[in-house]
Amino acid sequence: MDMPHTPTRSHWSNRLAFILAAAGSAVGLGNIWKFPYITGVNGGGTFVLIYLMCIAAVGVPIFLAELFIGQRSQRNVVESFEVMDRPGTPWRLPGWLGLASAFLILSFYSVVGGWVLDFEYRSLMNQFAGHSDEEIKAVLGSLFASPGRQLFWHALFMGAVVSIVMRGLNAGIERWNKILMPALFVLLALLLVRALFLPGFGRALEFLFAPNAEALKPAGILEAVGHSFFTLSLGMGALITYGSYLQSREELVRTAFTVALLDTLIALVAGVIIFSVVFSFDLDAGAGPTLMFQTLPMLFTKMTGGYFISVAFFLLVSFAALTSAVSLLEVIVTYWVETHRKSRTVTTLVAGGVIYGLGILSALSTNLLSGVKLGDKTFFDLVDKLTSSVFLPVGGMLISLFFGWVLGPKAAEAVAGKGKYAHVAALGLMWSARLVAPLAVAVVLVHGLRDW
């Protein structure tokens, strides 16, 4: 099953660079913005439990499957399935779906990245200090109301993503991840310590970790499953693409566990911090997408050195968002450069432009287009829900089936390596990919979609 290397392909400089890039892709707005807000909307405890179970039972096996497919094929998200199976195989479908997901996700992701930039600017200008909690709560609303402001920050964010991806793997993505991810971890730890002294800390823990099954509907369960894909960057080939820059003998299992653990930890820490503020200042846990933007500035204005913490925090979140966004665009660019032999610069610019255009519809969803709805969902809501609750789970399910049934025991054994328990691990991985993961996703999809 060993495939020859494409001589022109770049590779990660070392193991750490790869782990940081994979973590950079996984850790992003999904952890700090989205996880707390959907947890709040879905009532806490049980939602978190399902999310955690999914990461362990479904997420990690699919994570391994994607890395393996990328590493062995040394190809982009579409061709990798052909290299592993045969030219023209119908298994390219998850590849195409992945490309579609990348376009759609990045289009609204960049808009939210823009909100973070706006908050970074306001922090720098010290615009939160001296304002009441009510006034701080209204800040995001004023950004929502302004199409010009939204489009400006969306453009800036997308521009940054394009300029990093254009420079290629080693000079762009790798360098930035190495510096910024560790800084984010340190700052979150600092905020966690501060949250410990808030009166709402205990209730935050209870909200996040005490089961409360009655609060959760089937659509909420689907959202928990979908988010476990979103947060690990699974189901759309980001990890196939990053895995394809690995040397062929690099070990995968440790990497997958490290990244999944790190990603989960960061989401939980962000959740604890944000809900400590929610319960200390009597805010609405179910506020939705505005949650992070309303709670954290309130905390910052009450901390010594709050100005600097606020500036550093939004800066680091924008970088976390950027490293994830980069991995989304990289999926598209690698495909066009490799399969259609287009130049990296041109492809990146064109794809970035198309995604920016698509994102305009999301940016205007809070103002000019707020009345244009399908059911009760604006364009923004629709793209967000459709990708994480449908495209990613379906893509992940197909990738899992491909790994389990088409690649089979040989692939599982290759991933499990030669350790003492390798045989058991391989069996576990293969059956998880063949049955457990696809079945779990299928059941949740059928029930969740009926309830959508």
Residues that bind ligand PHE (CB under 6 A): 25-26, 28-31, 105, 230-231, 233, 236, 238, 324, 327-328
| Residue whose CB is less far from ligand PHE, 355 or 425 | 355
CA 50, chain centre distance (Å) = 17
In the complex, residue closest to ligand PHE by CB:
30
Helix (H) or strand (E) holding 21: helix 15-26
| Residue whose CB is less far from ligand PHE, 162 or 238 | 238
For 377, the 3-state DSSP assignment is: strand
Q: CB of 360 within 8 A of CB of 139?
A: no
| Residue whose CB is less far from ligand PHE, 298 or 329 | 329
In order of 15, 296, 374, the CA distances from 241 in angstroms are 16, 34, 33
Residue with tokens 């690995």: 246
User: Alpha-carbon distance 72 to 411, whole Å?
Assistant: 10
Q: What's the min distance (Å) between Cβ of 77 and ligand PHE?
A: 11
| Residue whose CB is less far from ligand PHE, 280 or 334 | 334
User: Alpha-carbon distance 392 to 150, whole Å?
Assistant: 27
Q: What's the min distance (Å) between Cβ of 421 and ligand PHE?
A: 29
User: Alpha helices, DSSP H only, in 74-146?
Assistant: 79-84, 93-124, 133-145
| Residue whose CB is less far from ligand PHE, 392 or 425 | 392
CA 242, chain centre distance (Å) = 14
| Residue whose CB is less far from ligand PHE, 103 or 230 | 230
User: Alpha-carbon distance 318 to 321, whole Å?
Assistant: 5
Residue with tokens 């990245």: 113
Q: What's the min distance (Å) between Cβ of 18 and ligand PHE?
A: 15
User: Alpha-carbon distance 302 to 129, whole Å?
Assistant: 9
Q: What's the min distance (Å) between Cβ of 385 and ligand PHE?
A: 14
Q: What's the min distance (Å) between Cβ of 153 and ligand PHE?
A: 17
